[in-house]
Amino acid sequence: MRLTVIFLMALVGTFVLDQGIKDLFVQGFGWRHPCLSLELHYNPGVAFSFLAFLGSGLKWLQMILIAGIALYLITSRLVWEYPLALGMLLGAAVSNLYDRFIHPGVVDYVAWHCGFNYAVFNYADVVIDAVIVWILFQSYRQYRREKKT
């Protein structure tokens, strides 16, 4: 029960925080600096607008993928090994998917443009990347412990 609560709180908390931040930018917040800007962008694709040509079909594809991943994590019991991390991961994924249903694309707002002008991301993107690194690091540590014994 405790792990379920951790998982659900992480999922809902990440979703609510990400949507709250995105709402600030949808409402008009912005800030510019020579290397970093905080400004509203809608990404019709995934990373670097990849798959944007799928149009509205992309949201349905992502919905199927997220549902499949969630089902796998729950049935394989992996979610109970990493309830905080996987709750955050699914909360971020669902938040970006939700954007596709209410906006022209995923709401991105951190634009890094020192030397290039194409890297724009949001809190959910950072959470997804950080959680993947976190799980890989934890898995590696566990592998090393098991190898020693």
For residue 112, give the amino acid letter: W
* Closest residue by Cα to residue 124 from 1, 25, 2: 25
Residue 37 phi/psi, 5-degree rounding, is -125, 145
* Contacts by 134-143, CB closer than 8 A, 24 or more apart: 134/85, 135/82, 135/85, 135/86, 138/82, 138/85
- 125 is known as an active-site residue: yes
Please say if the pLDDT value at position 118 is more than 80.
Answer: no
Residue 74 has pLDDT above 90, yes or no: no
Which pLDDT band holds residue 86 (cuts at 50, 70, 90)? very high
Q: Is 108 a catalytic residue?
A: yes
Whole-number percent of the chain with pLDDT over 70: 99
Q: Is residue 9 classed as helix, strand or coil in its secondary structure?
A: helix
Burial group, residue 115, by CB count within 10 angstroms (0-12, 13-18, 19+): exposed
CA distance 87 to 12: 8
pTM: 0.91
Measure the N-to-C terminal CA separation of the chain; round to a whole number of Å: 31
Indicate which residue of 23, 99, 108, 129 is catalytic.
Answer: 108
User: Is 90 exceeded by the pLDDT of residue 55?
Assistant: no
Confidence of residue 112 (pLDDT cuts 50, 70, 90): confident
Query: What is the average pLDDT across 15-42?
Result: 96
